[in-house]
Structure 1
Amino acid sequence: MKVTIEDVAKESGFSITTVSRVINNNYPVKDETRKRVEEVIDKLNFHPNILARGLINQRTDTVGIIVPSNTNLFFPIVVKGIDSVLRKKGYTIYLCDSDNNEEEEIRYAKSLLSRVVDGIIVIDPQTSNMKNGFYEGISKEVPLVCINGYNEGIDCNFVLNNEETGAIEAMEYLISLGHRKIAFVRGEKSYSYDLKERVYNEVLDKHHYGEYKKVINVGYGNKYNTVDTTMETVEDVLNNDNHPTAFFACNDIMALGVLNACKRAELNVPGDISVVGFDNIIISNLTEPKITTVDQNMYELGENAAQMLLKHIDKHTGKSERIVLNTKLIIRDSCKKIT
Structure 2
Amino acid sequence: MDKQNVTIYDVAREAGVSMATVSRVLNGNSNVRQTTKEKVLQVIDNLDYRPNAVARGLASKKTTTVGVIIPDVTDGYFSSLARGIDDIATMYNYNIILANSDDNPGKEASVLNTLLGKQVDGIIFMGNEIDDHLRDEFKRSDCPIVLAGSVDVNNSVPSVNIDYVDAVMNETNRLIQHGNQKIAFVSGPLKQAINKDYRLKGYKKALNSNHIPFSDDLVFETTSTYEDGYNLADELIKKNITAAVVTNDELAAGLLNAMTDRGVVVPDDFEIFTSNNTKLAKMLRPQLSSITQPLYDIGAVAMRLLTKIMNQEKIDDKYVVLGYEIEERQSTK
Normalised-by-shorter TM-score class: 0.7 to 0.9
Matched pairs, number: 312
1:46 shift after superposition: 5.3
Match of 1:332 in 2: 329
Q: Residue 304 of structure 1: which of 301, 304, 320 is its match?
A: 301
Match of 1:209 in 2: 213
Determine if the alignment matches structure 1 residue 218 to structure 2 residue 215.
no
Identify which range, 194-203 or 73-82, moves more after superposition: 194-203
Distance change (3 Å), C-alpha of 1:160 and 1:170: same
1:192 shift after superposition: 1.4
Match of 2:180 in 1: 179
1:152-196 Cα offsets, whole Å, 9 max, x none, are: 333311112111110100110111111011111111242211121
In 1, are the aligned partners of 2:89 and 2:95 still within 8 Å (CA)? yes
Match of 1:190 in 2: 192
In 2, are the aligned partners of 1:121 and 1:145 still within 8 Å (CA)? yes
1:251 shift after superposition: 1.7
TM-score after normalising by structure 2: 0.82
1:266-302 Cα offsets, whole Å, 9 max, x none, are: 1000111000000111211221111111011101101
Distance change (3 Å), C-alpha of 1:167 and 1:318: closer
Q: Report the Cα distance in structure 2 between the residues aligned to 1:78 and 1:95, rounded to whole angstroms.
A: 12
Distance change (3 Å), C-alpha of 1:46 and 1:271: same
Distance change (3 Å), C-alpha of 1:270 and 1:37: closer
Q: Report the Cα distance in structure 2 between the residues aligned to 1:125 and 1:136, rounded to whole angstroms.
A: 19
Q: Report the Cα distance in structure 2 between the residues aligned to 1:111 and 1:24, rounded to whole angstroms.
A: 31
1:130 shift after superposition: 7.0
Q: How does 1:148-187 map to 2 (within 5 A)?
A: 148-187=149-188
Q: How does 1:9-158 map to 2 (within 5 A)?
A: 45=48, 47=50, 49-124=52-127, 126-128=129-131, 132-138=135-141, 141-158=142-159
Aligned-residue CA RMSD in angstroms? 3.2
Match of 2:33 in 1: none
In 2, are the aligned partners of 1:155 and 1:320 still within 8 Å (CA)? no
In 2, are the aligned partners of 1:145 and 1:156 still within 8 Å (CA)? yes
Which ranges in structure 1 are unaligned for 5 or more consecutive residues?
Answer: 15-19, 26-34
1:71-107 Cα offsets, whole Å, 9 max, x none, are: 2201111111111212122222111111101122112
Identity %: 26
TM-score after normalising by structure 1: 0.80
In 2, are the aligned partners of 1:161 and 1:296 still within 8 Å (CA)? yes
Match of 1:284 in 2: 281
Distance change (3 Å), C-alpha of 1:237 and 1:115: same
In 2, are the aligned partners of 1:181 and 1:212 still within 8 Å (CA)? no
Q: Report the Cα distance in structure 2 between the residues aligned to 1:9 and 1:289, rounded to whole angstroms.
A: 57
Q: Report the Cα distance in structure 2 between the residues aligned to 1:38 and 1:325, rounded to whole angstroms.
A: 40
Code of the residue aligned with 1:154 in structure 2: it is N
